[in-house]
Structure 1
Amino acid sequence: MSKTHIYLMPGLGVGPGIFKKLTLNPEFELHYLEWKKPISQEESLVNYAMRMADDVRHKNPVLIGVSFGGILVQEMSKFLDTKKIIIISSVKSKNEFPKRFKFANASKIYKLFPTSIVTNFDNYSKFFIGKYLRKKAENYKRYLTVKDKTYIEWSIQTVLNWKQEKPIGPILHIHGTKDNVFPIKHIHDCEQIIDGDHAMIIIKAKNISEKINNYLN
């Protein structure tokens, strides 16, 4: 019996390490995708997705994406014959964005975002005060692998300018009830993870694994 090939795309700026706690069934073969540097600040998401789709080497794969990676795998699926699409802590269309995203896009205020906080996170993390914030900072540092300024700026404007009007088709959407980036109140038709936040791929990996395994079986 041939294995099902699963391609996993992490969230903005982070590497495949965020998936290490998933426990997926042995009949699945996992392939980890990594962010490429945009050709330029003006590269379209369509073109970027086309380049990423070239890294998918198997027919009828399952695509799994987290956060911005969830948006990306949906765009990649437009160039691939996929078996299933699964998104985690993400959105299925621009209509699931919170109002602050829409404001940031309309006002272009996102251009004022100090990308140096990400590109030089090690220097800024020492200012995180309190046990909880320090732990969050350490986790972020552990998984943050892409700190290129062009990539960070491109990613922010690309997310905010995503034009998808409606879901592209059947998608398993796994979402946390305490996601503070994409609040659950704006999300439709999802499998909820109780108390899951935007980083739940790490801290709620067991619950997420169960939902993925059940869906694919």
Structure 2
Amino acid sequence: MSKTHIYFMPGLGVGPEIFKKLTLSPEFEMHYLEWKKPLFQEETLVNYAMRMVADVTHENPVLIGVSFGGILVQEMSTFIDTKKLIIISSVKSKNEFPKRFKLANASNIYKLFPTTIITNFDDYSKFFIGKYLRKKAENYKRYLTVRDKTYIEWSIHNVLNWKQEIPTKNILHIHGTKDNVFPIKYIHNCEEIIDGDHAMIILKAKQISEIINNYLN
């Protein structure tokens, strides 16, 4: 029996390590996509998605994306035929953005975001006081591997300016009830993970794996 090929796209600024705790059925062959540097600051998300498709070398794959990676795989799916499309801790259209995203976009205040916090996270993490915050900082440093300033600024702009209004058909959306980036109250038609936050791909990997296995089988 031929295997089903699954391509994973991580979230903004992170690498494929976030998927390592998933336990999927042996009939699935997993492939991990990584962020590329934008060709230039004004590169469109559509053009970027077209370039990412070149890294998908199997026909009719499953695409799985987390957060901004979920937005990207939806754009990628317009260029290739996919068996299934799954997004985690993401949105299906701009209508699922929280109000603060819309405000940030309308006012252009997002351009003031201090991207150096991400690009130089090692320097800033020493200000995380207390055992709990220090542990979170260590986790962020472990997974926050893509820190190029051009890429970070490009990503923030393209998240906030995503134009999709009608959700992609036949998409599975897995979302946490405690996601503080994309609050559940704005999300429609999803498989809920109770107490899952925006990092649940790591913290709730067992539950997410069960949903993906059941859906694909």
TM range (shorter): over 0.9
1:170-199 deviations in whole A, cap 9, x for unaligned?
111000000000000000000000000000
Residue 11 of structure 1 aligns with which residue? 11
The answer on 1:66 being equivalent to 2:69 is: no
* Distance in 2 of aligned mates of 1:68 and 1:186: 16
Q: How does 1:126-165 map to 2 (within 5 A)?
A: 126-165=126-165
Residue 167 of structure 1 aligns with which residue? 167
Identity between Structure 1 and Structure 2 (%): 85
* Distance in 2 of aligned mates of 1:166 and 1:49: 18
1:44-100 deviations in whole A, cap 9, x for unaligned?
000000000111000000000000000000000000100000000000000000000
Show structure 1 runs of 5+ residues with no match.
none
Residue 37 of structure 1 aligns with which residue? 37
* Distance in 1 of aligned mates of 2:16 and 2:66: 10
* Distance in 2 of aligned mates of 1:73 and 1:128: 33
Residue 194 of structure 1 aligns with which residue? 194
Residue 120 of structure 2 aligns with which residue? 120
* Distance in 1 of aligned mates of 2:134 and 2:160: 28
Residue 111 of structure 1 aligns with which residue? 111
Paired residues, number: 217
* Distance in 1 of aligned mates of 2:39 and 2:21: 32
- Give the TM-score normalised by structure 1: 0.99
Show structure 2 runs of 5+ residues with no match.
none
Give the root-mean-square deviation of aligned CA atoms.
0.5
Query: Shift of residue 137 of structure 1?
Result: 1.0
Query: Shift of residue 136 of structure 1?
Result: 1.2
Residue 211 of structure 1 aligns with which residue? 211
